[in-house]
Amino acid sequence: MADLRTNLAGIKSPNPFWLASAPPTNSGYQIMKAFDAGWGGAVWKTLGVPVVNVSSRYGSVNYRDKRMVGFNNIELITDRPLRDNLREISEVKKRFPDNAVIASLMVETREEWHNIIRDVENAGADGIELNFGCPHGMCERGMGSAVGQEPKVLQTIVEWVKEVAKVPVITKLTPNISDITRPARAARAGGSDAISLINTIQSIVGVDIDQFVPYPIVDGKSTNGGYCGPAVKPIALNMVKNCAQHPEVNLPISGIGGVENWRDAVEFILLGATTVQVCTAVMHFGFGIIREILPGIERYMDEKGFKTIEDFRGKALPNIKHWEDLNLKYKVTASINESKCIGCQLCYTACEDGAHQAIALSTDPANRIPSIIDENCVGCNLCSLVCPVEDCITMERRDDAKQHLTWGERTAAGNIPKGFNDELAGGLHHWVPEPMEALAKKKPRHYKG
Amino acid sequence: MAEYKRPTSEQEFAKNFSPKKPLMSDTEAYYESSRCLYCYDAPCINACPTGIDIPTFIRQINNDNKDGAAKTIYESNWFGHACGNVCPTEELCEGACVYNNSDVKPIEIGRLQAHATDKVIRSKKRLFITGKPTGKKVAVIGAGPAGVSCACELRMLGHDVDIYEAKAKPSGLCVYGVAPYKLTNEEALDEMTYLQEQFGFNVHYNKPVTGRADLDRLEKEYDAIFIGIGLGGTSKLGVPGEDKRGVIGALEFVEELRNKHQSTLVGSKVIVLGGGNTAMDAASESCRMGAESVIIAYRRGPEEMGAYSFEFDLAKKSGSKALFNVTPVEVMGNGSVTGVKFIRNKTAYGKIEAIPGSEFVEECDMVLLGTGQGKQVELLEQISGVKLDQKGRILDNRGRIVVNEHYQTSNPKYFAAGDAVNGGVEVVNAAAEAKKAAHGIDGFLKK
Ligand SMILES: Cc1cc2nc3c(=O)[nH]c(=O)nc-3n(C[C@H](O)[C@H](O)[C@H](O)COP(=O)(O)OP(=O)(O)OC[C@H]3O[C@@H](n4cnc5c(N)ncnc54)[C@H](O)[C@@H]3O)c2cc1C
Ligand SMILES: Cc1cc2nc3c(=O)[nH]c(=O)nc-3n(C[C@H](O)[C@H](O)[C@H](O)COP(=O)(O)O)c2cc1C
Ligand code: SF4
Ligand code: SF4
Ligand code: SF4
């Protein structure tokens, strides 16, 4: 049976699923409820300098009938009094001693940092998370992402924190930076025990096209917010991987960004995260989603024979290479499973208009099953991605699996194209139709013109 | 048996005849439109006789452009709203939807179509601008789907149009024939008002074109004439006793029902003769009117019925029973009908043969004849040069039933489409053909 217990730089929790510092961790009431439901840890809504919030605060990206595939907010850190939060931290710890309670903090001066760290440690927090990530409201006051974007400043503050902190310190990173490993390395240099990432991405989720104001709207005006939810997961995964692979970072990672189900969590762990944090999914569906997450990851681990999280943590990292180290001799082409095909011809139009004109339609209009033109197929995957039927288009290996040649090896051998019309370039040998053929092509009867 | 109580008020009638395809709410339309795959050269389009660009209008609904959706629909089909409700979509667009191939429920195209068009009809928003006036005038006989569609298209092409309609309301069988659970009078007429206000054709109601004198006048006053008169009344059965009280044509029954609702008289034991869609409708409707027993009697077996299987299913679900392989030989009764005498058949090599001595009487107090509609031969015969075949179908100048793309008859000034030409299919066929006929007329007028 899978053992889900985790230890992130000394912070122990019964499972790797933590609530991220956000509205779901605004109060002891919510965190008790979450622990009761099965969550392993919670990063308390950021405590710190006093703030005032606006209304409204959130915006959303909906994709067709799917709501909140992306989510943004212009909310600040907690607006509740520090003393109430401290009292509730001790109450939660007393009732749930085995669950991890991490205090997220954001203050300005060295003295403020020292004081607040003592306060939360006295209240019983198992760890501290430094919020250097908030991309709105706080950065204008020289905190949040304003710190996260300046590795030097970040390092200094981590050092202040480490002067007094007795519990492990996690530095939370902002993604609003071109190289995430720079602040990660600064955190390590400052003595941070772990990092967590990502915080939200600066964003405008949409514009009200009648009022001419972006969302969310505050009295006819708006401001950029922080983007999160399922849509940011790919960005978060990449940044987690960058930190996990960088030899000078070498810190335990708590992965954040778009985690909603067990599979998302497994992906973060495979890229090196020890725990994951969840915000948007809980804001959308409530604490109850843990009922799907826990059995999901347990089943996965049992099936794979993983006893602990450590057994598969970072397991995908060795398979992530630089582009120049990929095998240029590997060849796949698309293959359509005719018995599954429903005849929507989305693959045809995608390849025809958006890729390589490598899919043909039958000349018999009654037969709607397309066919792959093997010699034109470059193996890009597009058709298999647009196909609405599971496993209907598969990518089949066509090379003999004996050859291996990378761009790096070709470069070393001096065997790469040099001029713009060089014989050695890839596209030169790839067939494309003549431009005028586009106009001669038969169109569906309802197309105009 | 009666699952339905005999309706005594407008509310009870509305309950018994509640819509088969109720209007979608915005939320339902949003979710349903989200499912559409946006197929390439979509099979649903190719299955629609009017070729509506279905994936485009569904995408327009999904992207909150319902006016645009309605415009896409109307550009192909001037009876867009009626068709969304009354089309046999199971056999047409929805039957062709690729989702059927993966055992997923097809997109509810008809209801989405009705949703989008309902919005513009209610908002009275103008979507089309009529063509530059050509100074030509066209007379249209009949304000049914064929006539009105032809009129709209002719107005788009800039020709003036006068419609002569025998009855007091437009839309033909949409108000006089189609089952009330598919389309209400209000819905049908609102679309007509919407179209008429937008296209500005004139309709002269209660003005049947009956004889040579009328035709002479039209020929003198108009540059072309379109025949959209549909079919005639219910054909005779041809058995003794069919003039008894209580024997009514299914078509005439439906017409009364559409106009008198719960005041329509319906027997308590009804026999419906026939196996077509009209017979199925009449049976479903009799059940909904609270008849105690409704029996559909058909000469052949169930698989040979002309009706769509979903219409037969609906009739059964409404409470009708069916008798197969029986031929009516006499309507019994003394003044009023009391029953029908049938003889049983067997079918040998596609032919029905009566089984001697197998006669029996099925009691009833009402007989509905779903025996098909006759052609309006008397009128058509008076048009000089218009040739008909033995079945009363209109021929073109090469002796073919009018099916060419111009829908021109053997008298070049006369064009025809809809039931009068195709022998009775669906509203959508009339709309598709009449649109083409309008272009035929346009070509003729430009010569
Ligand atoms: C009972 C029944 C149920 C049906 N249900 C459906 C259904 O569910 N779905 C579907 O798609 N189709 C249905 N149909 C078929 C559909 O109604 C017809 O195919 C369609 O209405 C044909 O249109 P049309 O314009 O050719 O003829 P009609 O609708 O018959 O219109 C002809 C018009 O011409 C007028 N007219 C006739 N003679 C003259 C004259 N001499 N002078 C002036 N005006 C004249 C008539 O009053 C009428 O208004 C049904 C038909 C029937 C009979
Ligand atoms: C397969 C692929 C290749 C791309 N190649 C280029 C490129 O060569 N040059 C470029 O400026 N952007 C390139 N882009 C980025 C797009 O132009 C665009 O900025 C990005 O996809 C975001 O827009 P979207 O959300 O509409 O996809 C590429 C995008 C894709 C999906
Ligand atoms: S893999 Fe790419 S190139 Fe090959 S058929 Fe599919 S879309 Fe076309
Ligand atoms: S996308 Fe898939 S289902 Fe659609 S036609 Fe292509 S192979 Fe068939
Ligand atoms: S066939 Fe179905 S899924 Fe495809 S475009 Fe038509 S309605 Fe949409």
For chain B, the straight-line distance linking the first and the last C-alpha, in angstroms and rounded, comes to: 63
Residue A196 CB partners (closer than 8 Å, separation 6+): A43, A129, A170, A171, A172, A173, A253, A254, A255, A256, A277
Q: Is A107 a domain residue? A: yes
Do residue A12 and residue A95 come from a single domain?
yes
- Tell me which residues have their CB closer than 6 angstroms to ligand 4: A 336, 341-347, 370, 386-387, 389, 392-393
* C-alpha span between B381 and A188 (Å, rounded): 99
Q: Tell which atom from ligand 5 comes closest to the C-alpha of B96.
A: 1
Q: What is the rounded average pLDDT of the residues A60-84?
A: 95
Domain boundaries, position A444 = 322-449
Q: Would you say residue A285 lies in a domain? A: yes
Q: What is the pLDDT of residue B1?
A: 45
Which residues in B238-263 are b (16+ Cβ under 10 Å) and which e? eeebbebebbbbbbebbbbbbeebbe
Atom of ligand 4 nearest to the CA of A350: 1
How large is the average pLDDT for residues A123-137? 89
Smallest Cα distance from A274 to chain B, Å:
38
Whether residue A301 is found in the same domain as residue A347: no
Minimal CA–CA distance to A41: which of A138, A144, A147, A170? A170
- Contacting residues of A for B35, CB less than 8 Å apart: 65
Residues of A with Cβ-Cβ distance to B31 under 8 angstroms: 65
From the number of C-beta atoms within 10 Å of its C-beta (0-12, 13-18, 19+), residue A122 rates as exposed
Is B43 within 8 Å of A343 when comparing Cβ atoms?
Answer: yes
Work out the angle at residue A163's Cα, subtended by the Cα atoms of residues A161 and A168, and round it to the nearest 5 degrees.
Answer: 60
User: Do A302 and A339 belong together in one domain?
Assistant: no
pLDDT in tens, A243-252: 999 999 999 9
How far does the centroid of ligand 1 lie from the alpha carbon of residue B165, in Å?
A: 12
Write the pLDDT tens digit of every residue in A80-105.
999 999 999 999 999 999 999 999 99
What per-residue confidence (pLDDT) applies to A271?
98
3-state secondary structure of B330: strand
Domains along chain B with CATH numbers:
21-123 (1.10.1060.10), 137-232+374-446 (3.50.50.60), 247-369 (3.50.50.60)
What CATH number is associated with residue A310? 3.20.20.70
CB contact under 8 A, A446 and B99: no
Nearest to B51 among A343, A365, A446 (CB): A446
Ligand 5 pocket, Cβ-based, cut-off 6 angstroms? A 344; B 36-39, 42-44, 54-55, 97-99, 107, 109
β strands within A287-341, DSSP E = 332-336
Q: CA B409, CA B386: separation in Å to the nearest integer?
A: 6
- What does the pLDDT read at residue A420? 86
Cβ contacts from A onto B, under 8 A: 47
A13 upstream amide cis, omega within 30 of 0: no
Q: Whose atoms come closest to the Cα of A332: which ligand?
A: 3
Over 80: is that where the pLDDT of A429 sits? Answer: no
Domain shared by A155 and A53, yes or no? yes
Task: State the CATH number of the domain containing residue A435.
Answer: 3.30.70.20
Residue A70, strand partner residues: A61
CA distance B95 to B91: 5
| Structural domain ending residue among the three candidates A292, A319, A346 | A319
CB of A375 within 8 Å of any CB in chain B?
Answer: no
- For chain A positions 87-126, those within 8 Å of chain B (CB to CB) are none
Structural domain includes residue A82: yes
Question: Looking at the domain assignment, is residue A1 inside a domain?
Answer: no
The candidate with the shortest Cα–Cα distance to B211, out of B144, B177, B164, is: B164
Same domain, A364 and A217: no
Report yes or no: A402 and A382 within 8 Å, Cβ to Cβ.
no
Task: Tell me which amino acid residue B316 is.
Answer: K
The token pair at A107 is: 């203050």
**Angle, helices B427-446/B145-156, rounded to nearest 10 degrees:** 40
Provide the pLDDT confidence category of residue A17 given band limits of 50, 70 and 90: very high
Asked if the Cβ–Cβ distance from A344 to B39 is below 8 Å, we say yes
Contacts of A66 in chain B (CB under 8 A): 34
b vs e for B3-37, b when ≥16 Cβ sit within 10 Å of the residue's Cβ? ebebbeeeebbbebbebbbeebeeeebbebbbbbb
Q: Rounded CA gap, B68 and B63, in Å?
A: 10
**Taking the CB of residue B405, how many other CB atoms lie within 10 A of it?**
11
Is residue A73 in some structural domain? yes
Q: Do A349 and B40 make contact, defined as CB atoms within 8 angstroms?
A: yes
Looking at the structure, tell me whether residues A20 and A76 fall in a common domain. yes
pTM comes to 0.92
* Subunit contact A345:B39, Cβ cutoff 8 A: yes
> Does residue A155 sit in the same domain as residue A227?
yes
What does pLDDT average to over chain A?
95
**Dihedral pair phi/psi, residue B354, rounded to 5°:** -75, 145
Does residue A63 share a domain with residue A188?
A: yes
Between chains, do A346 and B102 touch, taking CB under 8 Å as contact?
no
Give the confidence band of A449 by pLDDT, cuts at 50, 70, 90: low
Predicted confidence pLDDT, tens digits, chain B (447 residues): 448 999 999 999 999 999 999 999 999 999 999 999 999 999 999 999 999 999 999 999 999 999 999 999 999 999 999 999 999 999 999 999 999 999 999 999 999 999 999 999 999 999 999 999 999 999 999 999 999 999 999 999 999 999 999 999 999 999 999 999 999 999 999 999 999 999 999 999 999 999 999 999 999 999 999 999 999 999 999 999 999 999 999 999 999 999 999 999 999 999 999 999 999 999 999 999 999 999 999 999 999 999 999 999 999 999 999 999 999 999 999 999 999 999 999 988 888 899 999 999 999 999 999 989 988 888 888 988 888 888 888 888 777 777 778 999 989 999 999 999 998 999 999 999 999 999 999 999 998
| Cα–Cα distance, B179 to B255 (Å, whole number) | 9
> How many structural domains are present in chain A?
2
CA distance B447 to B438: 14
Length of chain A equals: 449
Q: Is residue A386 part of a domain?
A: yes
Q: Is the pLDDT of residue A332 over 50?
A: yes
With a threshold of 0.95, tell me whether the complex ipTM lies above it. no
Quote the pLDDT of residue B284.
97
Do residue A82 and residue A179 come from a single domain?
Answer: yes
**DSSP designation for B172:** T
The answer to whether position A424 is within a domain reads: yes
User: What b/e sequence results for B368-385 when a residue is b if at least 16 CB atoms lie within 10 Å of its CB, and e otherwise?
Assistant: bbbbbbebbeebbebbee
Final residue in a domain of this structure, among A260, A287, A319: A319
Same domain, A336 and A350: yes
For residue A414, is it within any domain? yes
Element housing B309 (H / E): helix B309-318
* Residue indicated by tokens 């485009």: B56
User: In percent, how much of chain A has pLDDT > 90?
Assistant: 90
Asked if residue A361 and residue A314 are part of one domain, the reply reads no
Determine the pLDDT at residue B141.
97
* Sign of the C-alpha dihedral computed for residues B195, B199, B205 and B211 taken in this order: negative
Q: Is the pLDDT of residue A139 over 80?
A: no
What span, in angstroms and rounded, lies between the C-alpha atoms of B296 and A211? 61
Contact in structure between B295 and B325 (CB atoms under 8 Å): no
> Are the C-beta atoms of residues B380 and B394 closer than 8 Å to each other?
yes
- CA of B300 vs chain A CAs: smallest distance (Å): 32
Residue A445 has pLDDT above 90, yes or no: no
What DSSP designation does A87 have? H
**What pLDDT does B348 receive?**
83
Of A297, A319, A341, which residue is a domain's last? A319
Residue A75 and residue A87 share a domain: yes
